[in-house]
Amino acid sequence: MRYLALFILSFVFWMLLTFDLSVANLVAGGAAALVTSLLFTKYFFHKVVKFIQPVRYFWFLVYLVIFTWECIKANFDVAYRVLHPAMPIKPGIVKVKLELKSDFARAMLANSITMTPGTISVDIIDDVLYVHWIYVSSEDPEIYSRKIAGKFEKYIKKIFE
């Protein structure tokens, strides 16, 4: 099942990327998707049933809207700090406790954090995510955990777990 799911996913991706319905292209795409699914299935989701649960797609769309908004805010934030003559930065690395358990959800959260205002995820050790923050605005772990990860964590939980 997992092999099939990854095969279909990579095949659809190939078709969108090449955008060509000729037989030669279909065969080439099939071969590429086959190699991909054979090599990388061990890194794929463990429960592919999740792919056919519509409610997850709904939450994914909600997440996408929120994420895009945060992303745009992030850009104005960084642009402001860069263009301001005095450069109002106060960088540091802070710890954020993770509530998500599965690897894929964690990777997704780390990616989202990297794209949002002034933060880059550095490393995950055990259950703690280390985040480089361009403006450390509070000393309290509770407050900054919520500020950095809280917005996304609940949606990612609904999508992937």
Partner 1 sequence: MVSTIFISVGVLFNLFGCIGLIRLPDVYNRLQSATKCVTLGTCSILVGVAFHFGLIDAGVKALIAIPLLFFSATVAAHALVRGAYHAGIKMGDKSVKDDYKDAVK
User: Which residue is listed with tokens 């065969």?
Assistant: 27
How far apart, in Å, are the Cα atoms of 12 and each of 36, 49, 54, 82, 94? 13, 18, 19, 40, 40
Q: Considering beta carbons, is residue 103 or 123 the nearer one to partner 1?
A: 123
> Nearest distance from residue 104's CB to partner 1, in Å?
12
List contacts with partner 1 (CB under 8 A): 13, 16-17, 19-20, 71-72, 74-75, 78-79, 81-83, 87, 89-95, 110-111, 114-115, 118, 120-123, 125, 128, 130, 132, 134, 136
> Nearest distance from residue 108's CB to partner 1, in Å?
10
> Nearest distance from residue 122's CB to partner 1, in Å?
5
Q: Considering beta carbons, is residue 41 or 114 the nearer one to partner 1?
A: 114
> Nearest distance from residue 48's CB to partner 1, in Å?
20
How far apart, in Å, are the Cα atoms of 119 and each of 34, 111, 131, 143, 149? 37, 10, 6, 15, 10
User: Which residue is listed with tokens 């990860």?
Assistant: 149
Q: Considering beta carbons, is residue 27 or 93 the nearer one to partner 1?
A: 93
CB 77 within 8 A of CB 119: no
